[in-house]
Chain A
C-alpha cells in the first residue's frame, strides 16, 4: 500500500518520451538541491548546478575495507603514493604509477560542502570533516560530485549496477526512492531499470491482457503467478489494481497486470521473455544502442556487438590505493589498461583490443553513448585538431573495444580478461542479457 505522504515531485526535464521515465517519491531536501532524471540510473539527487550526487559506501575487499562508513568522510585533498594492499596477493606499500600527475581523492570527487547555517532535514544531515569544513550527507553517507559529469543528468562518475566483492569500492549515484508499491524493487541493468519483486524476482506483462482484465487464468496462472495486491492497497500514479476475481486483486503498472514466472531459475531473470506474449517490465529503458551496432547470441545470452557482429567490451579499473581511484577513464592513468590490453605496448593494444571506431560524422542519439576523440598512442583524449586521433564510440564516456581473439559473431573469448576476472583491471563483455551470471546487472 502506498504511504499517504507520497507525492510525486515536480517533473524534471525528461530525456525520453513521456511515460518512459521512472517516477520517484518526493523526499524533503535542503534548499539548493534537486532531483534530475538520468538515462541509466533513474532519478538522482543533484546540486544546484544539476550535478549528480554520489556516495562512497564501505566495501569489503580481500584484505580490509575501503569506502566510507556512515558519518565518516575519508576522501581528502591528499595524494596517495602507495598501494593499500587491499587485494591479495600483492602487498601494501608499493609505489603507485604516475605520481607526478596523480590526483587526490577530492580532485576527482569534490565534497558537497554545507554552509555554516545549513539546516538538516529528513535524511539530509551535515558532518564535520577533518579539514574543518562541513559536508552534506544523505542517510549519513557523505556526498560528492564527480568531475566527470558535465551536464545535469550525467552519471559518468558511477553507477548503481551491482558490482562484485572484488571490484573497487565504487562511488554510486544516490537518489530518491523509486515510486513503487511495497513488495517491488527496481534494479539498474544494461538494458534498463528492471522492475522486480522485493525478493528480486522479475515481474512480467502479458500482451493479451487489457488494462483492467487479465487473460491469464487456470493453467496459465500456475506458471505466471499474478502479483497480488493487499486489500488496503490503492491505485496511484502509474500503478493500478485489477480485480481478477472477487476479492483477488492484482497489481498493474502502466496499465499492464503483473506476474512472476515460476520457471525463472534465478533473480533478475529475463528468461520469461522468451515465451511468446510475455515480457519483462522496466520503469525506464536504457537508451538505444548506436544505429549500426548489433545484438548477438552467445553461450550465455545476448551481447552487444559492432556492425560486424563482434562482441563489444568495456574496460573496468580501480587502483589499490586507499582512495580506490578509477583508472578506466581516458582522463586517468593508462598504465593499467595498456598492461592488460597489450603488455604495456599501445600498438599491441590497438591490435588485440581495437577501439570501436565511429564513422565520420556519426552522432549519438543519447548521452550514455557518445563519440570521442582518442590519442591512440596514449589512450587519453586527443588534443584538438590532432591529426592521428581516433574517433571512437564510448559508453559513459569510456571507449569500448572489440577483441582480436574473437573469431566470429557470438564469441566472447575476451570476457573476464584482466585482474580479478576483469573486475578491477580488465575487460568485460557488454551483456544485454545473460541467463547464468548476472552480467547485465
Chain B
C-alpha cells in the first residue's frame, strides 16, 4: 500500500494530509487536471456507513398516509386491556408477547394503514410494470417495493426521528459486526465502464472518522473478515454509466445487521446495487426481495416491545402486513409468498480494503 511504502517520509505529516495524498495517488488523473478516470490498479473499495429501508416521505405524510399513522404496542394494549378491568400477566402481557414471537397471517384486529399514492423509491426488480407497482419520483415505472407499502405509515420507520431509522442506521456505522464492504475491480473508468467486478465482504475494523467521531472519512483501511465473515463474501458483475454503478442480481445476500447486541441479519434475494460513485464515496440503493421471516425476526430480536412502542411499531400487525404484501418466492407447498420486494437507502465511504496475504487466502476468497 502506498501509505505503508512511504511510512518514513510521511510519518510526521498530519492524518488528513496523508489521506488526501493516498486518495490522489490511488487514481490516475487526466493530464489536463480533470476528473479522475480510473482507480489505481483498477480497484476501489467502499465501506457501508448508512443503511435503512427506503421510505418516500411527503410533508406531514399527507400523500402516503392520509389516514394517519398506525398504533403501536402501547396504544393497542390500552385498547385491548383497559385498566378498568382485572388484568393478569398471562392474559395481557404474555398474550401480546406470544403474538409477537409467534406471529400469524390471520386477520388483524386493528386497521392497518398501508402507504397510499403512486410514488416510491426502489427499483423495477422483475422488469415488469403491474398494478401493484409504484412509480419512482423520477418517473421510472414498475418500481417494486412492498416493504415501503408496509412500513411507510409507521412512525418508527420514518426519518429523521423514527426510532428504527435512528438506531438501526446508527448501528451500521457503530458496530463492526455490520461492516459490509463493496469492492470494485477491473475498473478502467469510474465514470463509464461496461464491465466491472463487484465483490461484497465484511470488514474487521472500526471506521475512520474525523475528530468528532461522527463523520466517517474516506481513506481509511479495512481488513477483510476471513475469520467469521468468509461466508458473507459474494461476487457479481456490473457496469458504470455516467458514474452510476448497476449490478447484476446476486441470488442471495446476507447483510449482517446488529442493533443492541443481538447478532441478526437480513437475507436479500436477487439483490442488486444501484450506486452513484465518486472517488470518496458511493450512494444509492440496495434492492431485492427480503425473506419475510428473517426481516421480521431482525426487527423484533434487536428491538424489544419497549423500543417498538417508541416507534409505534406493532410487530403483531406489521408481520401480518408483510405476509399480506409479500410478492415473491412462493412456498412450494402452501403457495404463500415468502419474500417481499424492498429497497434500502445506502451510503458508503471509500476505504482501502486490505486483503489477507498468501495464496491460500486468495484461493479461499475465490472459493467464496
- A299 contacts which of B89, B101, B228, B261 (Cβ < 8 Å)? B228
Contacts of A344 in B (CB 8 A): 94, 98
Q: Is A114 an interface residue (CB 8 A)?
A: no
Question: With the chains together, A434 CA to B263 CA distance in Å?
Answer: 10
Most A C-beta atoms less than 10 A away, residue of B92, B264, B265, B306: B306
| Mask of B37-79 contacts with A, CB within 8 angstroms, 1/0 | 0000000000000000000000000000000000001100100
Q: Is B206 an interface residue (CB 8 A)?
A: yes
Q: Is A65 an interface residue (CB 8 A)?
A: no
Q: Is B218 an interface residue (CB 8 A)?
A: no
Contacts of B74 in A (CB 8 A): 88-89
- A421 contacts which of B73, B90, B302 (Cβ < 8 Å)? B302
- B301 contacts which of A164, A335, A416 (Cβ < 8 Å)? A416
Q: Is A2 an interface residue (CB 8 A)?
A: no
Q: Are B256 and A299 in contact (CB under 8 A)?
A: yes
Q: Is A265 an interface residue (CB 8 A)?
A: yes
**Of A90-98, A172-180, A195-203, the one touching chain B:** A90-98
Contacts of A88 in B (CB 8 A): 74, 306, 309
**Of B80-88, B327-335, B340-348, the one touching chain A:** B80-88
Interface size on B, residues (CB 8 A): 42
Question: With the chains together, A417 CA to B73 CA distance in Å?
Answer: 18
- B306 contacts which of A62, A83, A319, A434 (Cβ < 8 Å)? A62
A412 — nearest CB in chain B belongs to which residue? B263
| Contact (A419, B262) CB under 8 Å given A91-B83, A301-B228, A436-B176 | no
Most B C-beta atoms less than 10 A away, residue of A336, A413, A418, A421: A421
Q: Is B93 an interface residue (CB 8 A)?
A: yes
Q: Are B177 and A300 in contact (CB under 8 A)?
A: yes
Contacts of A30 in B (CB 8 A): none
Q: Are A95 and B87 in contact (CB under 8 A)?
A: yes
Q: Are B102 and A343 in contact (CB under 8 A)?
A: yes
| Contact (A419, B97) CB under 8 Å given A94-B87, A274-B227, A299-B228 | yes
Q: Which of A220-234 contact B (CB under 8 A)?
A: none
- B262 contacts which of A95, A298, A342, A416 (Cβ < 8 Å)? A416
Q: Which of A305-351 contact B (CB under 8 A)?
A: 319-320, 335-336, 339-340, 342-344
Contacts of A419 in B (CB 8 A): 97, 304-305
Question: With the chains together, A164 CA to B92 CA distance in Å?
Answer: 25
Contacts of A10 in B (CB 8 A): none
Q: Are A94 and B92 in contact (CB under 8 A)?
A: yes
Q: Is A438 an interface residue (CB 8 A)?
A: yes
| Contact (A436, B263) CB under 8 Å given A94-B88, A299-B177 | yes
State the Cβ distance, A109 to closest chain B Cβ, in Å: 21
Q: Is A382 an interface residue (CB 8 A)?
A: no
Q: Are A265 and B206 in contact (CB under 8 A)?
A: yes
Contacts of B94 in A (CB 8 A): 335-336, 339, 344
Q: Are A437 and B227 in contact (CB under 8 A)?
A: no
Contacts of B256 in A (CB 8 A): 299
Contacts of A89 in B (CB 8 A): 73-74, 77, 305-306, 309
| Mask of B270-291 contacts with A, CB within 8 angstroms, 1/0 | 0000000000000000000000
Q: Is B249 an interface residue (CB 8 A)?
A: no
Contacts of A413 in B (CB 8 A): 297
Q: Is A87 an interface residue (CB 8 A)?
A: yes
Q: Is B252 an interface residue (CB 8 A)?
A: no
Q: Are B301 and A421 in contact (CB under 8 A)?
A: yes
Contacts of B261 in A (CB 8 A): 164, 416, 421, 437-439
Contacts of B362 in A (CB 8 A): none
Q: Is B229 an interface residue (CB 8 A)?
A: yes
Q: Are B263 and A420 in contact (CB under 8 A)?
A: no
State the Cβ distance, A384 to closest chain B Cβ, in Å: 30
A433 — nearest CB in chain B belongs to which residue? B228
Q: Which of B221-239 contact A (CB under 8 A)?
A: 227-229, 231-232
State the Cβ distance, B59 to closest chain A Cβ, in Å: 29
Q: Is A186 an interface residue (CB 8 A)?
A: no
Contacts of B173 in A (CB 8 A): none
Question: With the chains together, A367 CA to B88 CA distance in Å?
Answer: 37
Q: Is B260 an interface residue (CB 8 A)?
A: yes
Q: Is B324 an interface residue (CB 8 A)?
A: no
Q: Which of A93-129 contact B (CB under 8 A)?
A: 93-97
Q: Are A436 and B175 in contact (CB under 8 A)?
A: yes
Question: With the chains together, A91 CA to B261 CA distance in Å?
Answer: 26
Can you list 11 residue pairs at the A/B interface with Cβ under 8 Å? A95-B89, A164-B261, A265-B176, A300-B228, A339-B101, A342-B102, A416-B262, A416-B301, A421-B304, A436-B175, A437-B263
Please report B residues at the A interface, Cβ cutoff 8 Å: 73-74, 77, 83, 86-90, 92-94, 97-98, 101-102, 175-177, 205-206, 227-229, 231-232, 256, 258, 260-265, 297, 301-306, 309
Cβ-closest 9 pairs across A and B: A416-B262, A416-B301, A343-B102, A436-B177, A89-B309, A437-B261, A89-B74, A95-B88, A339-B94
